[in-house]
């Protein structure tokens, strides 16, 4: 094992997306991540398909694309948490682990004798991270949550999508489970911070991560726009609420994204589209005025951009150092020369398919290089090896 966390063992009791995303981050960083799955059933996302990975004969396996996206580099162990043997196995693993990740309903693991207090009594240095929809306390602490509903409840859908009355108007969710992903990111950051603190105190900790908390926190500028103005942020399609021009614009043969970030860039942008007078006009010369007068500025930009093709505009804006880009499909992303150069797609050996594609971590370390060699595990693939190493019997999975 390589990577900066090669000395760390993680007991991953989580399933679906947020917890497993955190576990995959830690696995990418070199930690040994032991994924405990319900015997005979496994992680819910194993069945979230199609699509499924094809085996060597071209037939569907039981490995869904969803599951494969979030479980790279882990070991799968089947354990029945309701059994005495299963509970003993989890305690034995916790005694030898640094971190526990779990996303059971509040209080569930305690009913099995596997709550944070019970596990920390076995291993005082253990860092336990609980991921739930609403946290360990409050009026909704016991409620179940999924990404979609938290995107709605946390305000994200109120600012995502075209305005009411516009074509396709109405609230929209983000095209990936962004709350799950960000919750997993916060969980990973939290356990790493607890590891750093443990190196000084010698003590473990308990971390309470709630999806609704994360959704509220990640509203970022939209939240502060409301808090400092009292106004309710509204959906504005692809238009940025604070910086202009930033939008999707039609060109002669498609669409382009323009992301002008400051007044100097706007001068170069205006020059590139053949309208240098726009940057000289006091109504548009500064970003606050461009935002205030966007209703007049936007049509002028749109008219100019329709005159040339996408490739011509990208070349022109690149020459002026104006941030811009095409709207790539997912296949186009993996064909992008920069994405290919950065090595974000890697084929990993797989026991059923021969190999499985994997989107690798964006983290690059100079001294502690990350390596991606282990595919998401089959259900129970490592049960015998892991339990035998602990001196336990496989009855734990019955």
Q: Which residues are identified as catalytic?
A: 180
Angle, helices 310-319 vs 263-272, to 10°: value is 130
Q: Is 81 helix (H, G, I), strand (E, B) or coil?
A: coil
The conformation of residue 307, written as its DSSP 8-state character, comes to T
270, 277 contact by CB (below 8 A):
yes
Q: Which helix (H) or strand (E) holds 244?
A: none
Beta strands across the sheet bearing 205-210: 74-79, 32-38, 9-12, 99-102, 127-132, 205-210
Alpha carbon distance 340, 270 (integer Å): 32
Alpha carbon distance 163, 235 (integer Å): 5
- Which residues is 354 bridged to in the sheet? 350
Q: Is 41 helix (H, G, I), strand (E, B) or coil?
A: coil
Cβ-proximal residues to 185 (8 Å cutoff; 6+ apart), any chain: 21, 22, 25
Q: What are the E-state strand segments in the chain?
A: 9-12, 32-38, 52-54, 60-64, 74-79, 99-102, 127-132, 205-210, 246-251, 254-259, 324-325, 345-350, 354-359
Q: Which helix (H) or strand (E) holds 395?
A: none
The conformation of residue 394, written as its DSSP 8-state character, comes to G
Q: Which helix (H) or strand (E) holds 148?
A: helix 147-153
168, 162 contact by CB (below 8 A):
yes
Nearest of 80, 82, 77, 92 to residue 395 by alpha carbon: 80
Torsion, Cα 110 206 223 249, to 10 degrees, reads -90
Can you say whether the dihedral through the CA atoms of 376, 380, 383, 385 is positive or negative? negative
Query: What Cα–Cα distance (Å) separates residue 34 from each residue in 10, 96, 175?
Result: 6, 11, 29
């Amino acid at each position: 094992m390589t990577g900066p966390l090669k000395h760390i063992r993680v007991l991953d009791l989580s399933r679906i997306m947020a917890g497993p995303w955190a576990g995959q981050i830690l696995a990418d960083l070199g930690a040994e991540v032991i994924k405990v799955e319900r015997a005979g059933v496994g992680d819910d996302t194993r069945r979230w398909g199609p699509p499924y990975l094809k085996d060597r004969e071209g037939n569907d396996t039981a490995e869904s694309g969803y599951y494969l996206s979030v479980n790279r580099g882990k070991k799968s162990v089947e354990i029945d948490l309701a059994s005495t043997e299963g509970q003993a196995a989890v305690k034995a693993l916790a005694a030898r682990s640094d971190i526990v990740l779990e996303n059971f309903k509040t209080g569930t693991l305690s009913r099995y004798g596997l709550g944070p207090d019970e596990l920390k009594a076995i291993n005082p240095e253990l860092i336990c991270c609980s991921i739930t929809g609403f946290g360990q306390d409050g009026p909704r602490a016991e409620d179940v949550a999924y990404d979609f509903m938290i995107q709605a409840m946390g305000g994200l859908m109120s600012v995502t999508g075209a305005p009411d009355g516009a074509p396709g108007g109405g609230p929209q969710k983000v095209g990936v489970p962004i709350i799950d992903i960000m919750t997993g990111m916060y969980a990973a950051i939290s356990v790493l911070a607890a590891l750093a603190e443990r190196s000084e105190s010698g003590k473990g900790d308990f971390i309470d991560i709630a999806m609704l908390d994360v959704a509220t926190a990640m509203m970022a500028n939209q939240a502060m726009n409301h808090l400092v103005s009292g106004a309710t942020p509204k959906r504005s399609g692809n238009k940025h609420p604070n910086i202009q021009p930033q939008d999707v614009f039609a060109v002669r043969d498609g669409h382009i994204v323009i992301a002008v970030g400051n007044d100097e860039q706007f001068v170069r942008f205006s020059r590139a589209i053949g309208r240098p007078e726009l940057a000289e006009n006091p109504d548009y010369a500064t970003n606050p005025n461009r935002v205030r007068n966007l209703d007049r500025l936007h049509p002028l930009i749109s008219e100019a951009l329709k005159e040339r093709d996408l490739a011509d505009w990208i070349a022109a804006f690149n020459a002026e150092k104006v941030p811009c880009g095409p709207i790539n499909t997912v296949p186009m992303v993996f064909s992008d020369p920069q994405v290919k150069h950065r090595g974000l797609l890697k084929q990993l050996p797989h026991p059923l398919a021969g190999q499985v594609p994997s989107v690798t971590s964006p983290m690059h370390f100079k001294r502690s290089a990350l390596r991606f060699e282990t595919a998401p595990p089959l259900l129970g693939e490592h049960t015998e090896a892991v339990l035998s190493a602990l001196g336990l019997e496989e009855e734990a999975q019955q």
